[in-house]
Amino acid sequence: MKHILAVLVENKPGVLVRVAGLFARRGFNIESLAVGRTMDPGISRMTIEVDADEKTLEQINKQLNKLVNVIKISNLTQEPSVDRELVLIKVKAPASSRAEIQQIVETFRAKIIDVSLQSLIIEVTGNEEKLEAIQLLLSHYGILEIVRTGKIALLRGSKTIKNGEVK
């Protein structure tokens, strides 16, 4: 089962390397990773998606909690939350297929952010299913390049993670 972990860490050099190294040493695979500062400049938030059973997830939590720079780990999978990713897709787009590609882009509420003579770059945000669907449709035209951010997530409603606690 996939789990989304919100990990609050000290905003210091080397923290990302230590967290990623822990996963590598233990043989845990990171499906998705996004890191950014929080409203407190001394704290960063890592959103980590892992595919793990309950036993493995427990091990991940124990190992992460041993790291000095880790402040708090919250499993957003157990709470109502919203998650999104950003994808940039460069697709072959000769003049003959641009209208069809534009129609796909509009259907998915995506944006064309760059145009050249033979290609388009499309920006799409959404959940994993939406991103996979547009990628599948655009693959028929020839995807030249694709890049995805890591998944980010927030708790729904008025719930927040403050000082490492869901409130």
Q: Would you place residue 128 in the very low, low, confident or very high pLDDT band (cuts 50, 70, 90)?
A: very high
pLDDT in tens, 29-83: 999 999 999 999 999 999 999 999 999 999 999 999 999 899 999 999 888 889 9
Q: Would you place residue 165 in the very low, low, confident or very high pLDDT band (cuts 50, 70, 90)?
A: low
Residue 111, pLDDT score? 98
Residue 122, pLDDT score? 98
How far is residue 4 from each of residues 81, 118, 138, 152, measured CA to CA in Å?
Answer: 10, 38, 28, 9
Across the chain, which distance is largest between two alpha carbons, in Å?
57
Distance CA 121, CA 91 (A): 6
For residue 163, pLDDT over 60 is answered with: no
Distance from CA of residue 48 to its chain's centroid? Answer: 8
- What is the rounded average pLDDT of the residues 4-9? 94
140 DSSP 8-state letter: T
